[in-house]
Structure 1
Amino acid sequence: GIRPLGITDDSQFLSRITSYMGEFIRDDGHAFLFERVIAPSTACVAFSKHLNRTVTGSMNEFVFQAKALLIEQEMSPYDTSFLLNDVPMSYLKYDNPREAFLKLKPSEEGISNH
């Protein structure tokens, strides 16, 4: 029979995104944060509707920018990720996703933003 291409269910999506995030974060020099904070959390992921229009707007802007970089600039998805990770976001008080991620500090209780 014909097998569908791409991601066809939630578990496949989580598996691929976790793998990609792990590669990207390790290459950015933060393997410890991935192994300590993100990887353990992937077992309890839930999908929901958006709760914050600012975040939704930022994600839509990232999609727009990613399409331009991937198609018009012919950038690789990997390089596009690094570039987008340095874009300031209003929701992060004009910090960028990379800096916000680095502010997460693993502790005995979990993640701290202090």
Structure 2
Amino acid sequence: MRQLLALLLAAVTALPALAIDRPFPAHTLRGKFTPGYFPDITLDGKPRQLAPAARIFNEDNRIEMPAAVRGKDLVVNYTVDGMGYIDRIWILSAEEAAQKLPTAAEAAK
């Protein structure tokens, strides 16, 4: 019984170690996102457009359709394509939003 209890305790304490941070590209930017009618969005109070193949990831890292995203001034990480369109958006959890966005030099390490 003690061995089973020790094994269970070890398994429970090891679970947080299995949590994986979402990998964001080195050139990721942070801003406040307000969805609009596709492809129009607002980032940091400025009108922008989503790329035709844009992807929006929710807090669980699952893809959300642009029409399904609700809210205003959501804290997000995002990337911009070569044409200036927003191509990827990650809606951040409160814990992720509290973390400092790494610089390109820090991400390269």
Same fold (TM over 0.5): no
Higher helix share: 1
